Amino acid sequence: MNKDEHIKRLIEASINSTDGMNRATPKPFLLTRISAKLNTAAGSSWERIAAFIGKPVFLIPAFCFIILINFFVIFNNNTATAPVLTEQSSATTADDFSNTTATFYDTENP
């Protein structure tokens, strides 16, 4: 039998090697281990909340939301603190700076 033929037979043997195989069995006390895991899983609701918060499906939108709020606050503050330009007449300016002199002392009527 030449090499190629031998390899061909080995390939066929490999492909059919699972024929008639027995089933493997898991380690003993599988149910006990599952029950223990179930009890731990059901034990703490805080752990489940923490696990959910740690998931990207929550983290990414939360991060984007915080960034959005930051932008909103920054731009909102800029418009609120901008100087308000109002027109003032000369009379009001004079009032503001008290441009009139006090006349407590009348020089003509001593």
Residue 6 is a binding residue for another protein (CB under 8 A) = yes
For another protein, the closer of residues 10 and 53 by Cβ is: 10
Tokens 């606050």 sit at which residue? Answer: 73
Contacts (CB under 8 A) with another protein, residues 11-70: 11, 13-15, 17-27, 30-31, 33-34, 37-38, 41
- What's the start-to-end Cα distance of the chain, in Å? 147
Q: Does 1 bind another protein (CB under 8 A)?
A: no
> Closest CB to another protein among 3 and 55?
3
> What CA–CA distance (Å, rounded) separates 19 from 38?
36
By beta-carbon proximity to another protein, the closer residue of 54 and 110 is 54
Instruction: Evaluate whether 58 touches 52 at the Cβ level (below 8 Å).
Output: yes
Amino acid at 16: N
Q: Does 2 bind another protein (CB under 8 A)?
A: no
Residue 29 phi/psi, 5-degree rounding, is: 60, 40
* Positions that interact with another protein (CB under 8 A): 3, 6-7, 10-11, 13-15, 17-27, 30-31, 33-34, 37-38, 41
